[in-house]
């Protein structure tokens, strides 16, 4: 993407850039009208850095005009003249913001990062202005207070209630003085989140471990060694090996490297990430905590955790903590059993050290190989990324009748991206689905699903279908082999595809109720639920073929994978539940002075009795879920909360068949319904009862 270069006499307008000189050329800003592309995919190749700001400003103006039109309406407030236009304030703003947000996370250039930093505060200011607009809120409030006097469809009633709740939670009931303070707090938080994320991306990309002796690579898979050599070459260190904090590199070192010093360097590098120099996120965290506490107090809550859980299924942080402790305690006890077994194995090999955190992955893998004869290097050739992609598509076809046709000529924002036309069981277009799976410096860590466009029904009855994408950070192909996935990678791919299905299958009328716009503690249900099919023996026969020979994965390997599925589950559950509890503990604070971030984490770990051999899944300076924005703040518990639902649901499939068409149809209804119905009502219509927490403990092997 090359920025356009202007001459002295060029002039920029919101929708058109005019270039004049010897000849006259005209270039239209692609954001300024509906895209003339297949299914409205953004024309990424045409978009230039100079397009974002004028389109953004035009979109804000368009949205403000829509709001003025709503408030100027002299007719009594109704769903059609108030809520419906609020649902679609500015198509222009939707287009520019969706692309900017997507690329800022998945393929950020320095120029785009600068644009994002400039426009995000403007976006926050606009949303604050809208949510505190008293004339607009008065119309919403009238609808809310009279909701029981009008016979409206359920989705409209929910939309009115949710809209009113959002206005209140954004300060609509506050005095003008307090609204001004809240706007100031929100502006500061936006700046702090941008700084936190920038520090984290810089820290991730600057860290490296350079190895110059081949013997120090003992135990590592050849694909990891090859990727480290390629990374070294790219960094001007040809002939050496460079390991980074990106998951494929980091986890391979911790799991397989025989060199204990190398493992220790990697573990310490990861757990001190974003804690040094200009990239130190601990001062940023302190500022975030103070601003969040101010926000909660302004809105009438005792702390930020109470504010963030009030509109979720949990309702209170205490309810979330109660569930987490039911899982954390048996998981912690399981860790003691796991460490004992690993220590015995280490001692038998002649080692004279106690298992340390940087040894956990390594000896857990040794135990897995010994007890289950399961060697991941033996398994990965059956899980080339294209094979697993075939698997997720096959699952969607068996359960929901979907088919996926690649669109090789469709617009894409990076060469790694693949684009698919998704069709429903009738062969009609359902959605566009994009995949972007490989790690690169321009992409933040982790894996996620997002929408470039949601789905909704226009007033004239025409239907808009969504554009969904999945992003991962898997090790890329090498010169000799395609991208080969680990067991965790495969599970991640099914997980994010579950989110994708939630977006693709959406059939609601309203944009605001589409797809994943459900309660935060229900949004992980579809993703985690579909993970169960990743290693189902019937599914593996469909997609797990050796990348060289085409051989189907042997039954013996399938049996080993499933036999080992609960291996190391104490560790994985304890670090996850511990991180969720740490998140809520941060949310309870109302600090006036600075908090020692490291000391606070240690205090929480000591109170929980966190085993010395592990730590929280994420330390706070790189816990992007909770400090990179408000999304999962005081909400990381939702993964385990939702797992209660998905484990319970899968038990029904195990009883009646994993591709049972009746049950699949009921799950499809949940996915299609988005936020148009209460999630517990949707779940009870599927299961005939509320979910039981017993299934999660059994499936994780934490109880007999």
* CA atoms in the 13 A half-sphere facing the CB of 132: 20
Q: Is 496 a catalytic residue?
A: yes
Backbone φ, ψ for residue 560 (5° rounding): -65, -45
Cα(368)–Cα(564) distance, integer angstroms: 7
Q: Classify burial at 100, counting beta carbons within 10 Å of its beta carbon; exposed 0-12, middle 13-18, buried 19 or more.
A: buried
Helix ranges, 589-687 (H)? 597-608, 624-627, 638-656, 661-673, 679-687
Q: Which two tokens stand for residue 346?
A: 């280490």
* CA atoms in the 13 A half-sphere facing the CB of 433: 30
Backbone φ, ψ for residue 27 (5° rounding): -130, 125
Q: Which two tokens stand for residue 148?
A: 């029981």
Cα(84)–Cα(456) distance, integer angstroms: 11
- 430, 505 contact by CB (below 8 A): yes
The 3-class secondary structure across 283-345, one letter per residue, is HHHHHHHHHHHHHHHHCCCCCHHHHHHCCCCCCCHHHHHHHHHHHHHHHHHHHHHHHHHHHHH
Q: What is the dihedral of CA 544, 547, 551, 555, to 10 degrees?
A: -40
At 384 the three-state DSSP class reads strand
Partners of 27 in the beta sheet? 17
Cα(474)–Cα(246) distance, integer angstroms: 9
Question: Does an H or E element contain 585, and which?
Answer: helix 569-588
Helix ranges, 215-281 (H)? 222-234, 247-256, 260-271
Question: Does an H or E element contain 628, and which?
Answer: none
At 27 the three-state DSSP class reads strand
Marked catalytic residue, from 156, 338, 496, 531: 496
Nearest to 63 by CA among 43, 21, 93, 22: 93
Burial string for 547-577 (b: 16+ CB within 10 Å, else e) reads beeeebbeeebbebbeebeebbbbbbbbbbb
- 642, 528 contact by CB (below 8 A): yes
Residues with Cβ within 8 Å of 498's Cβ and at least 6 positions away in sequence, in order, are 526, 527, 528, 529, 530, 531
Angle, helices 134-145 vs 154-169, to 10°: value is: 140
Residue whose entry in the numeric block shows the structure tokens 């059939």? 507
| DSSP secondary structure, 527-552, as one string | HHHHHTTTT-HHHHHHH-B-TTT-PB
Cα(149)–Cα(488) distance, integer angstroms: 52
Catalytic residues: 496
């Amino acid at each position: 993407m090359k920025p356009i270069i202007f001459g002295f006499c060029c002039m920029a307008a919101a929708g058109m850039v005019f270039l004049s000189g010897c000849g006259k050329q005209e270039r239209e800003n692609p954001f300024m009208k509906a895209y003339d592309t297949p299914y409205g995919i953004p024309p990424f190749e045409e978009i230039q850095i100079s397009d974002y700001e004028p389109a953004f400003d035009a979109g804000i103006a368009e949205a403000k005009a829509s709001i003025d039109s709503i408030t100027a309406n002299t007719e009594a407030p109704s769903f059609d003249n108030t809520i419906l236009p609020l649902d679609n304030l500015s198509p222009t703003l939707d287009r520019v913001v969706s692309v900017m947000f997507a690329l800022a996370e998945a393929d950020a250039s320095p120029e785009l990062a600068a644009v994002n930093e400039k426009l995000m505060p403007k976006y926050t200011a606009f949303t604050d202005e809208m949510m505190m607009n008293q004339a607009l809120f008065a119309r919403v409030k009238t609808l809310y207070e009279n909701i029981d006097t009008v016979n409206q469809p359920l989705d409209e009633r929910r939309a009115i209630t949710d809209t009113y709740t959002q206005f209140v939670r954004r300060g609509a009931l506050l005095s003008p003085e307090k609204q001004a303070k809240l706007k100031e707090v929100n502006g500061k938080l936006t700046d702090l989140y941008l700084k936190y994320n920038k520090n984290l991306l810089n820290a991730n990309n600057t860290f490296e471990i350079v190895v110059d002796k081949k013997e120090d690579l003992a135990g590592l898979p050849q694909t990891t060694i090859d990727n480290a050599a390629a990374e070294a070459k790219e960094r001007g260190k040809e002939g050496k090996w460079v390991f980074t904090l990106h998951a494929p590199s980091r986890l391979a070192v911790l799991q397989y490297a025989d060199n204990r010093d190398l493992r220790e360097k990697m573990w310490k590098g990861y757990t001190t990430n974003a804690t040094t120099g200009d990239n130190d996120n601990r001062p940023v965290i302190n500022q975030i905590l103070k601003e969040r506490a101010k926000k909660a107090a302004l809105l009438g809550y005792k702390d930020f955790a109470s504010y963030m859980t009030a509109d979720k299924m949990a309702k209170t942080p205490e309810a979330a903590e109660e569930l987490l402790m039911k899982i954390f305690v048996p998981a912690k006890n399981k860790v003691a059993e796991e460490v004992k077994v690993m220590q015995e194995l280490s001692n038998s090999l002649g080692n004279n050290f106690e298992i340390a955190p940087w040894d956990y992955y390594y000896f857990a893998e040794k135990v897995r190989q010994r007890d289950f004869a399961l060697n991941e290097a033996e398994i990965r050739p059956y899980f080339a990324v294209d094979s697993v992609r075939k698997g997720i598509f096959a699952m969607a076809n068996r359960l929901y009748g979907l088919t996926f046709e690649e669109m090789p000529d469709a617009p894409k924002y990076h060469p790694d991206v693949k684009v698919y036309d998704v069709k429903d069981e009738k062969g009609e277009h359902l959605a566009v689905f994009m995949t972007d799976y490989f790690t690169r410096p321009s992409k933040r860590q982790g894996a996620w699903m997002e929408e470039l466009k949601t789905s909704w029904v226009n007033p004239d009855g025409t239907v808009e279908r969504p554009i969904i994408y999945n992003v991962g950070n898997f090790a890329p192909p090498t010169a000799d082999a395609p991208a080969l996935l680990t067991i965790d990678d495969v599970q991640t791919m099914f997980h994010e595809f579950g989110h994708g299905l939630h977006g693709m299958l959406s059939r609601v009328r309203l944009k605001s109720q589409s797809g994943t716009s459900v309660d935060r503690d229900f949004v992980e249900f579809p993703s985690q639920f579909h993970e169960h099919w990743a290693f189902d023996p019937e599914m593996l026969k469909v997609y797990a073929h050796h990348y060289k020979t085409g051989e189907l994965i042997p039954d013996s390997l399938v049996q080993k994978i499933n036999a080992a599925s609960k291996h190391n589950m104490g560790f994985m559950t304890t670090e996850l539940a511990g991180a969720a509890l740490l998140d809520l503990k941060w949310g309870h604070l109302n600090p006036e002075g600075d908090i020692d971030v490291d000391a606070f984490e240690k205090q929480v770990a000591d109170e929980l009795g966190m085993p010395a051999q592990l730590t929280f899944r994420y330390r706070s300076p790189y816990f992007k879920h909770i400090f990179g924005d408000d999304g999962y703040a005081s909400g990381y518990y939702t993964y385990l909360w939702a797992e209660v639902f998905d484990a319970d649901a899968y038990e029904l499939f195990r009883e009646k068949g994993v591709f049972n068409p009746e049950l699949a149809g009921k799950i499809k209804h949940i996915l299609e319904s988005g936020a148009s119905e209460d999630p517990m009502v949707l779940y009870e219509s599927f299961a005939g009862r509320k979910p039981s927490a017993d299934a999660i403990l059994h499936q994780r092997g934490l109880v007999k």
